[in-house]
Amino acid sequence: MKIDAPRKYVIDNLKHFLNPSSIAVVGASRYPAKVGYKVIQGLKDWGYRGEIYPVNPRADKVHGLTAYKTITDIPGPVDLVFVAVPAHLVKMTLEHAVAKKAKIVVIATSAFKEIGRGDLQDRLTQYCRDNKLPLFGPNLVGMGSPYLNFNCGFIPYLPIKGPVAMISQSGANLLAALGNSTTMHFGMSFFVGLGNKADVDFSELIEYGNTDPHTKSLAIYIEGLDSPTAFVKACTSVVPNKPIVVIKVGGSEIGVKAAFAHTASENEGTSDAFYDQLFEQCGVIRATTFQEFLDISLALGLQPELKGDCVAMITNGGGSGLLSCDHFERLGQPMQELSSISPDLGLRIRTYMPMFGSPLNPVDISGTASPVHYKGALRQAMRDPNVDMVYCSICPTAVTDVPGVVDVAIEMYEAYKPLGKPFVMECQGGAECLEAIIRLRDHGIPAYATPEQAVNAIVALRKYSKIKEKFSKKK
């Protein structure tokens, strides 16, 4: 349901959302394949330390914990109510949650507006609003934070710690991102599935993300915006501090219907151009593909903004350099020749490449480059005051010491971090590259498997710099 601006009581209560001192799981089940079982299992397995109260009128115990017939039978206070009962029991559950003075209610249950029960969903939402009980969902998968050892929902992974807050209407895509986090070390600060987002809106979570110390960038998957005004207000106030990346789906002819059936998102009468304009207006960066969405939000979370257009690329593979410079140009941010960035830099870097290398930009230090060559070239580029950022690529040959180059890259990054220049890496090849990417990410360096991914990330860093400048002035 529509809101005009982020609501204070919601934002105030959001502190209980990821860090509740007690949780009532309504619909707690004794059967491992049921959602109500997985929720408690997830809380326990991932180290939640607060009180867990299973609610199930048929059971005496669930997961070895005393089960209560209703929320109101629970002896202690309840911060968060997680609802995993059929839709027809949600109304009664909300009444009990209000009676118990719960701080937040999270509804995993489906079968509301997305199947034509919009009226019921609206009535329940209004009831929660009347009682100042923020409602998440319905039709969501859950939420959590690796910093709080909190995984609440039917979510098989807890992501690794990192800078990106992931706010997603789609449970499946959120789970994909969480899975990616564990395999590709895409670090997150917190994550939340919003589902139908009947009550708590993107805008309120954006405001929350702004206050969260672990969050450095926000990644938002949108199927429909019910409250564009509130969204614009929240983004406008947050983007001077933290970058926001969005992916907006459901814009295709059939996607409009699919988005409604999925999360009751209404896109009738809107267009991609409408959203482009809206996102431009509030300073958020729009990704087109899910991979791009992940790639650029990671870079924005890990690295400072790119304050100029002078990007120096160091690579041992001319091919990756060519793919990169073409993609830069496609995205409207063409690379500049090294000589135009810094007249002497090419000469200085030449020391670290064979005679058949190329000191243009991309700087090709050749397929025989060793960690020593990389170190010298990287150091020269990073220290040059005319270089706004360094982009480094590894294309392993039989003589490339990939772990050695990674060591050098990490060393140089750490050494010159105080200069505030972004650093992005690309490593294309086999298993050693996957390991390299993971290690680099673990050290705060956004690293990717293809040049296009890296270039997308760099262009987003530049865009954010311009956004920040524009919105800081407005502020």
Partner 1 sequence: MKEEQSKPAPEYLLGSPEQQSWMKKYFFSPRGLGFLEPGIVGLDDAKMSAYNVAKSSYQIRPDVFNMNYLSKTVGLGKEEIIQRMQRMYEQRTIVFVMNPAVSVYGWGLYYWMVKLNENTPPEAKAELSEWFQNKDDICTGYECQGDFDFYNGNHMRVIDNLLYDVLEPWKNRPEVKYVHLCPIRRDLRESHVNQFDCPGDGYREVLWGPGQIEKLAQVQDKLDLTDLKIIQALNAKRPMEDFFDFKVLAEVSGLDEKAMLDGIKELVEVKRIIVPLFHLNFMKLDLTNRMFVIRLFQNIPCCRKAEISDELSAIKEFNTVKEFSDSFYDIILWAYNEITDIPALRAKLNSYSEIEEIKEADMTRMYRRWVCRLDDQNGYWEECVFTDDFLQDRTQPGGPECTIRKGAK
Q: Which residues bind partner 1 (CB under 8 A)?
A: 29-34, 37, 57-64, 69-70, 85-92, 120, 123-124
Contact 212, 188 (CB under 8 A): no
Kindly report the backbone phi and psi dihedral angles of residue 219, in degrees, each rounded to the nearest multiple of 5, phi listed first.
Answer: -115, 120
- Minimum distance from CB of 264 to partner 1 (Å)? 16
The span from the CA of 38 to the CA of 56, in Å, is 14
Nearer to partner 1, 5 or 111 (CB): 111
Q: Are 203 and 234 in contact (CB under 8 A)?
A: yes
Is the CB of 64 or the CB of 430 nearer to partner 1?
A: 64
Q: How far is 132 from 162, CA to CA, in rounded Å?
A: 32
Cis omega (within 30 of 0) on the bond before 418? no
Could you tell me the smallest distance in angstroms from the CB atom of residue 35 to partner 1? Answer: 12
Residue closer to partner 1, measured from CB, 57 or 418: 57
Q: Which is nearer to partner 1, 123 or 466 (CB)?
A: 123
Report the residue number, 63 or 379, with the smaller CB distance to partner 1: 63
Q: Is the Cβ of residue 54 or residue 359 nearer to partner 1 in the bound state?
A: 54
Write down the least CB distance from residue 239 to partner 1, Å: 39
Q: Which is nearer to partner 1, 120 or 258 (CB)?
A: 120
Tell the smallest beta-carbon distance from residue 31 to partner 1 (Å).
6
The strand ranges marked E within 272-342 are 285-287, 311-315
Sorted by sequence, the CB contacts under 8 Å of residue 63 that are 6+ apart come out as: 28, 37, 40, 41, 44, 52, 54
| Closest C-alpha to 110, from 145, 49, 154 | 154
Query: What is the closest distance, in whole angstroms, from the C-beta atom of residue 134 to partner 1 in the complex?
Result: 19
| Cβ proximity of 196 and 263 under 8 Å | yes
Please give the structure tokens belonging to residue 416: 């010159």
CB of 66 to partner 1, least distance (A): 12
Minimum distance from residue 444 beta carbon to partner 1 (Å)? 40
Q: How far apart are CA 160 and CA 127, in angstroms?
A: 37
Assign residue 212 a region (left: φ > 0; alpha: ψ between -120 and 50; beta: otherwise). beta
Nearer to partner 1, 110 or 339 (CB): 110
Which residue, 1 or 322, has its beta carbon nearer to partner 1? Answer: 1
Closest distance between partner 1 and the C-beta of residue 139, in Å? Answer: 15
Query: How far is Cα 21 from Cα 142, in angstroms, rounded to an integer?
Result: 17
Residue 245's nearest CA partner among 202, 287, 195 is: 287
User: Would you say 294 and 180 are in contact if contact means Cβ atoms under 8 Å apart?
Assistant: yes
Residue 115, helix vs strand vs coil: helix
What does the alpha-carbon distance between residue 49 and residue 55 come to, in Å, rounded to a whole number? 18
Least distance in angstroms from the C-beta of 90 to partner 1: 8
Q: Is 289 exposed, middle or buried (0-12, 13-18, 19+ CB in 10 A)?
A: exposed
